[in-house]
Amino acid sequence: STIEFTGALHATVTKQIRLKNPSKKTLIYNAILIGRDADDFSLPKGSTVTIASKKQVSMNVEFTIRFLHPAEAVLLLTSSGIDTATVSFSLKSEVKHIEPAGTLKCKSPCYEL
């Protein structure tokens, strides 16, 4: 599935991903961010996710919007367990508006002979 990060230029946007474990075993995933803009995304709670049997956990993904172009990356959750599936999420961003950092007033003549 795709997770969209939208906000103002230079803003940090946090999204929560809810992961459920329907099995009878505890699952341990290692999270990896890959792709062209993977460095702009981060996992503030670390890259290891443990989900107890029949439970669910939330995982935070942060993105700081540094450029006007859309950013793309992939979040991969892999496990060393034999019967555990790899989970992937597409991460995409969009700048919705630009907040001015400040205002500067200048006074100069428009034309001089």
| Paired tokens of 98 | 């630009």
Tokens of 58: 């939330």
Residue 34 clears pLDDT 90, i.e. is over it: yes
Q: Which domains does the chain have, with CATH numbers?
A: 2-94 (2.60.40.10)
Cα–Cα dist 14/12, whole Å: 7
Does residue 10 contact residue 64 with C-beta atoms inside 8 Å? yes
Query: Token pair for residue 103?
Result: 């205002």
- Residue 25: DSSP 8-state: S
Whether the Cβ atoms of residue 63 and residue 12 lie closer than 8 Å to each other: yes
Q: What is the pTM of this model?
A: 0.80
CA angle 69, 75, 77 (to 5 degrees): 180
Q: At residue 22, does pLDDT exceed 80?
A: yes
| Residue 41's pLDDT band (cuts 50, 70, 90) | very high
CA-to-CA distance for 109 and 48, rounded, in angstroms? 61
